[in-house]
């Protein structure tokens, strides 16, 4: 009888504890807010004209250099920028900036969300340089940025730049590395909402020597793909390309390279097996004998490396140049193309890319790209945006754009990526037992 009472008592206690846990249990549900960060466009420095391609006139924009953080609809699908940098809430669409010194040169760059590290492989700081490094702080707090310059002689001491909230600063390239002909720049923010942009503009006296925007790349990698290098063949010679490389680590790198074109795949002369000294900017002539068109350059290294290709160009009888930079593996995203009509170039071992073209009329059209090594597609002038989807692994891409003022290059990389932030969930019984 006594044992029976003990058993009953234990059973009642266990039941009470069980029901107590049930009624007081917190139901775990993970909730997230998803959003695209606002993207930042380069400032319109002295003498330049800047137009931003958008997909919708309802896109919201604000300017830096003011105390106001208020946004307002653009009202156009091609937005002309004044002196200040523009901060754009474009959602899933990546706006494209077309920057021009009228009749002299042109260049393209994507507006992008703040980046934790940016590398620029291109430009010069010698007596011909009229270029600049433009740093934008689009945030509400002061920003600190470390700027490290690499030259043909080696690495320079980092320089720390301070920026006020919602402002930008323009630094002349000759002031960063006086007299250097070959430079690469690393931008490393310590604080703030920071974006960097490099303009490589050159002149000799009153003679303009062209210009371009040097698109930034991510951190060094052992495999680089430069998807689109313009090849122009004249009456007597072809384009004299120059390959610029940097090994930022502490060990020299051994590299190999492969050119992919519609004429076939081959190794450029004088590159395979070459050793690249670390922490020095190296240039190698890249002589390619082939018909006019485009080619891709794939570089493999035993050490993380950065690279780009410099190419003189000729547009409507005017001399310009373009920097073809490496591109990340292509992902699904939407690119605004209003007013640009770019030539898209894709490269990879086996290329599969689906395109959805959205016209200014609102109509859409789907296009499927399938090829080996390299493929091109010319976007009609009446298209306001291109959406990339179903991309094969190992495929990267870039856009080539020409105008009366010059030639431009743009890697196909999304300006902003969808971000998630968790929403705290509370059990009401915790607050009111």
Domain annotation covers residue 84: yes
Is there a single domain that holds both residue 335 and residue 381? yes
How many CB atoms are located within 10 Å of the residue 105 CB? 31
Among candidate residues 241, 260, 248, 247, the one with its CA nearest the CA of residue 394: 260
Average pLDDT over residues 420-430: 52
Q: In the predicted model, is pLDDT for residue 160 greater than 70?
A: yes
Is there a single domain that holds both residue 30 and residue 44? no
Is there a single domain that holds both residue 20 and residue 90? no
How many CB atoms are located within 10 Å of the residue 305 CB? 24
Is there a single domain that holds both residue 114 and residue 124? yes
Q: What is the pLDDT of residue 430?
A: 43
Is there a single domain that holds both residue 83 and residue 21? no
More reliable by pLDDT, 403 or 3: 403
- Whole-angstrom CA distances from 358 to 60, 171, 323 are 20, 39, 29
Average pLDDT over residues 36-44: 93
Domain annotation covers residue 422: no
- Least confident piece of the model among 21-30, 284-293, 353-362: 21-30
DSSP annotation of 404 reads: S
How many CB atoms are located within 10 Å of the residue 107 CB? 33
Give me the number of domains the chain comprises: 2
Is there a single domain that holds both residue 401 and residue 273? yes
Quote the domain boundaries for residue 23.
2-34
**What is the full DSSP assignment across 253-299?**
EEEEEEEEETTEEEPPTTTTTEEE-BTS-EEEEEE--S-SEEEEEEE
Q: In the predicted model, is pLDDT for residue 30 greater than 50?
A: yes
Q: In the predicted model, is pLDDT for residue 7 greater than 60?
A: no
Is there a single domain that holds both residue 180 and residue 206? yes
Domain annotation covers residue 250: yes
Angstrom distance (rounded) from CA 429 to CA 35: 31
**pTM for this model (two decimals):** 0.88
The three-class DSSP label of residue 17 is: helix
Is there a single domain that holds both residue 192 and residue 336? yes
Work out the mean pLDDT of the chain and round it to a whole number: 89
Domain annotation covers residue 230: yes
- Check: CB of residue 200 under 8 Å from CB of residue 131: yes
Is there a single domain that holds both residue 98 and residue 169? yes
Q: What is the pLDDT of residue 98?
A: 96
Angstrom distance (rounded) from CA 61 to CA 70: 8
Domain annotation covers residue 421: no
Is there a single domain that holds both residue 145 and residue 269? yes
The model's pLDDT over 83-136, given as tens digits with 9 standing for 90+, comes to: 789 999 999 999 999 999 988 999 999 999 998 999 999 999 999 999 999 999
Is there a single domain that holds both residue 77 and residue 95? yes
Q: What is the pLDDT of residue 354?
A: 98
**3-class SS shares of the chain: helix, strand, coil, % to 5:** 5, 55, 40
Domain annotation covers residue 433: no
């Amino acid at each position: 009888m006594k044992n029976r009472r003990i058993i009953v008592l234990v059973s009642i206690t266990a039941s009470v504890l069980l029901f107590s846990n049930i009624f007081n249990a917190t139901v775990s549900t993970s909730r997230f807010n998803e959003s695209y960060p606002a993207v930042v466009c380069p400032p319109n420095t002295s003498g330049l004209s800047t137009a931003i391609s958008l997909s919708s006139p309802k896109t919201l924009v604000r300017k830096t250099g003011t105390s106001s953080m208020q946004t307002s609809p653009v009202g156009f699908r091609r937005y002309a920028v004044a002196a200040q940098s523009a901060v754009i809430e474009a959602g899933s669409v990546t706006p494209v900036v077309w920057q021009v010194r009228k009749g002299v040169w042109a260049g393209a760059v994507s507006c992008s969300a703040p980046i934790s590290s940016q590398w620029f492989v291109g430009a010069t700081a010698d007596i011909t340089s009229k270029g600049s490094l433009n740093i934008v702080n689009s945030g509400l707090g002061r920003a600190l940025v470390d700027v490290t310059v690499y030259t043909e002689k080696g690495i320079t001491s980092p320089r720390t730049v301070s920026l006020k909230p919602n402002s930008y600063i323009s630094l002349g390239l000759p002031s960063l590395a006086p007299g250097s002909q070959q430079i690469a720049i690393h931008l490393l923010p310590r604080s703030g909402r920071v974006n960097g942009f490099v303009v490589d503009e050159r002149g000799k006296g009153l003679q303009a020597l062209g210009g371009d925007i040097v698109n930034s790349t991510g951190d060094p990698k052992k495999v680089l793909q430069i998807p689109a290098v313009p090849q122009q063949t004249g009456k007597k010679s072809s384009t004299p390309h120059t390959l610029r490389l940097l090994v930022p680590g502490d060990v020299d790198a051994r590299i190999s390279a492969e050119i992919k074109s519609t004429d076939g795949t081959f190794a450029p002369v004088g590159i395979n097996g070459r050793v690249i000294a670390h922490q020095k900017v190296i240039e190698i002539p890249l002589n390619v004998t082939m018909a006019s068109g485009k080619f891709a350059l794939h570089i493999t290294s035993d050490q993380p490396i950065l690279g780009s290709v410099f190419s003189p160009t000729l547009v409507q009888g005017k001399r310009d140049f373009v920097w073809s930079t490496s591109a990340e593996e292509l992902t699904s995203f939407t690119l605004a193309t209003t007013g640009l009509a770019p030539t898209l170039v894709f490269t990879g071992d086996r290329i599969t890319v689906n395109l959805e073209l959205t016209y200014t009329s609102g109509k859409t059209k789907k296009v499927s790209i399938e090829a080996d090594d390299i493929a091109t597609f010319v976007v009609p002038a009446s298209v306001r945006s291109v959406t990339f989807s179903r991309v094969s692994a190992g495929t990267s891409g870039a856009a080539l754009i020409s105008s009366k003022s010059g030639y431009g290059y743009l890697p196909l990389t999304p300006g902003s990526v969808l971000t998630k932030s968790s929403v705290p969930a509370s059990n009401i019984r915790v607050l009111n037992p």
